[in-house]
A and B are shown apart, each in its own frame.
Chain A
Amino acid sequence: MSLGPVPILLVAHRGFGDGLLEAARAILGQLPPVDSFSNEGLSNPELEARIHRWLDGHPGPALILTDLGFGSCCVAARRVSRGQDEVGIVAGLNLPLLLAAFRSREHETMADFLRHLARRGQESVEVYSGGNPA
């Protein structure tokens, strides 16, 4: 059984989320269902209300991707999704992780999906020195 297509929301600082989606479009073309907004100028209650409205419009399994684990976007997403096990959150967003997030069909449960995304995000960081793996 597959988790199926999971709606995705990016919540990040300034234009980071929209920029990542632009980059993803350049690689994939048309993207699966995904929305993005920034915390710019929003109070915590306003940010939480926006996330809440998005989740209300996407019942069932849903994924929220945020930039900083200790930032207001992630804290707000955690607060809003408190007790909702079908809502997954991944902090530390990067482009490889976002591309992996579009492949939710390959996973059976939200827990499996989240573990895969955490691994993908971590493994995607590579370092080189003098052009060679460091």
Chain B
Amino acid sequence: MTLVLARIDERLIHGQVSVGWAAALEPDRILVADDAVAADTWERDLVVSAAPPGVEAEVTGIADGARRLAEGLPGRVFLLVRSPALMLALLRAGAPLEEVNVGGLHYRDGARRFADYLYFTPDDLAALGELARSGVRLTARDLPGNPPIDLNSALAEGRLEFDQLPARGS
């Protein structure tokens, strides 16, 4: 198995993933790990229907996803979860994660801005901190053609303190 990208994106499969990243990475399979989506057949079909042609997509729960990633899936695998907390849960459940792309967390109540495409809550930052302390390399990047931002350095240098981040629109 080649894990071509492990991405945190609250929109899961959408235009940036199906066109931007899929064209650059040419995955054979998109694996969405999400207990809520996996438990709802209609939601599961909706998410899978957004995958690009020729790319197999499936939705699993966190525990099942971690197990399958640990065992190794065939081909080039693109992993998607919707939040840092779920990526951390996947790691703790045994998924072999060395590098994570933080690609899309848009504004929600209580979140503060780090980039146009990244608004973090305290829970997001706590989970990212845990991922970094576990040795995972964290990179912020919405699209493959845009410059990456090293989040491990941002965390280490205190640039990801919630209180220091600007509120929306400020």
Contacts and interface: CB of A to CB of B under 8 A. Distances in A.
Say whether A and B bind each other: yes
Nearest to A76: B11
A75 B50 contact: yes
13 contacts: A41-B107, A41-B116, A43-B108, A44-B10, A44-B11, A44-B106, A45-B108, A68-B15, A70-B15, A71-B14, A71-B50, A72-B15, A79-B46
Contacts of A46: 106-108
Contacts of B103: none
Interface of A: 13, 41-46, 68-72, 75, 78-79, 82
Contact of B14 (A45, A75, A78, A79): A75
B42 A70 contact: no
Contacts of B60: none
B13 interface: yes
B88 interface: no
Interface residues of B, number: 21
Contact of A70 (B52, B106, B108, B119): B52
Contacts of A42: 106-107
Interface in B44-65: 46-47, 49-52
B107 A70 contact: no
Given A70-B49, A70-B52, A78-B46, A41 B15 contact: no
Interface string B25-47: 00000000000000000110011
Interface string B50-84: 11100000000000000000000000000000000
A82 B42 contact: yes
A70 B108 CA distance: 23
A61 to B, nearest CB: 22
Contacts of B10: 43-44
A70 B116 contact: no
Contacts of A41: 106-107, 116
Contacts of B47: 75
Q: Max chain A CB contacts within 10 Å: which of B11, B19, B42, B116?
A: B11
B18 A70 contact: yes
Nearest to A78: B46
Interface in B82-129: 105-108, 116, 119
B6 to A, nearest CB: 20
A6 B113 CA distance: 38
Given A70-B49, A70-B52, A43 B14 contact: no
A77 to B, nearest CB: 11
